[in-house]
Amino acid sequence: MAGQGETVSEKKGQRETVSEKKGGDNPLLTDSDPLLTDSEDFLEFAAHLVVETPSAADLYGNCGVMAVLFETPSGFGFFQYDAVDLSESDAWQHVWADFINDIKAIIWLDDFVTFEGKGPAITNTYLSPDLSSMILKNVRHDQTLAVGNEEYKNIIEDRLKIRCLYSRVVKELMWGLRFQIRHFLPAENSEMTNDDRFLMSEGMIFFLNSYKFDINPHMMVTTRIIKMVGTMYECDRCVDKYDPFLRLYTKKLMKISGIRTCDWDLMKLATALKMICEPEDEIPDARQLFTKRELQRLMEDAPRYKCKSRRRIAW
């Protein structure tokens, strides 16, 4: 979590670093990428990288940094959130995972105000002067404010004329903040333990349903289970990242060695490419992955790939 004194430009620099760590984009070709040396291969690979979507800056203003009003048991926290990934149409499926094991979201706490009194600070018909002042002080010009429900959105837009957002993806963001509240605001949940239970986010349920789990959306789960699901998600994200990149090598395997790879998984394909690019390295499990004929062709044909590759794969 970044400190309050840092500028937005510094946050943007952090965003670039974290985006690289997240692995959300397909890998770009570098000087160390093997096999894809023909122009048609490059164009085919590049087609996987070009996806036209509105930018976060266009959608949310303030260079894509969204304000977030987060309600806690004792008050309201005001966050700044780099919403670069929210511009994707399927962002609601993925936001939750940025808050599970290591917090990958670029988000920082700007302000926190405790509200004490008999009545709530905000309802569908009332907005307290103190909360109004807090919101006006922290929302930048032309910035979108993410809020926790539709009633908050309506009254803030009506009374303060600030553009607000409450949507499927914002609910996932709020779920992530709630799950990590002790990280951002330790005093709010100082007594939380690993046995505390949470409802699962919609994105998490969507992910588990893809594996045919029978999920009750009202089921409560422990922190440990949520972190295990997050690890599963990270493994899937790694596979998705390299899938199109590795699949393009199948043409070379067919053209040079006459090996059909249409039914191979990524582990088998990556192992074959390692055998080609690093033929001197021994792979103990190779015999379990390939037939005797496939192993023979890969070993015999490895020198024929020298002019087509640069020996090392940039993992």
Strand order across the beta sheet in which 164-165 lies: 107-114, 75-82, 65-71, 145-146, 164-165
Cα Rg, the chain, nearest whole Å: 25
Per the model's pLDDT, the better-predicted residue between 71 and 196 turns out to be: 71
* Range list of H helices, the chain: 8-22, 39-47, 56-60, 129-138, 150-160, 168-179, 181-184, 202-209, 223-247, 250-252, 266-277, 286-289, 292-301
Tell which residue, 287, 301, 218, has the closest CA to residue 255: 301
pLDDT for position 55: 84
pLDDT digits (tens, 9 = 90+) for 130-140: 999 999 999 99
Mean pLDDT (the chain) is: 80
pLDDT for position 109: 95
Report residue 49's pLDDT band, with 50, 70 and 90 as the boundaries: low
**Token pair for 237:** 């994200």
Query: Side-chain half-sphere of 250: how many Cα atoms within 13 Å?
Result: 16
| pLDDT of 299 higher than 70 | yes
What's the predicted TM-score (pTM) here?
0.69
Per the model's pLDDT, the better-predicted residue between 146 and 282 turns out to be: 146
pLDDT for position 20: 42
**Token pair for 182:** 């002790």
pLDDT for position 40: 54
| pLDDT of 37 higher than 60 | no
Break the chain into its structural domains and give their ranges. Answer: 8-189, 249-308
Give mean pLDDT, residues 214-223.
90
Per the model's pLDDT, the better-predicted residue between 131 and 251 turns out to be: 131
Report residue 171's pLDDT band, with 50, 70 and 90 as the boundaries: very high
Give mean pLDDT, residues 118-140.
91
| Residue at token pair 């937005």 | 8
Q: How many Å apart are CA 147 and CA 39, to the nearest integer?
A: 48
Lowest mean pLDDT of 62-76, 179-193, 226-240, name the range. Answer: 179-193
pLDDT digits (tens, 9 = 90+) for 192-201: 444 578 999 9
| pLDDT of 66 higher than 60 | yes
Lowest mean pLDDT of 60-69, 93-102, 302-311, name the range. Answer: 302-311
Lowest mean pLDDT of 19-28, 108-117, 162-171, 296-305, name the range. Answer: 19-28
- 180 forms bridges with which residues in the sheet? none
**Token pair for 70:** 């987060």
| pLDDT of 26 higher than 60 | no
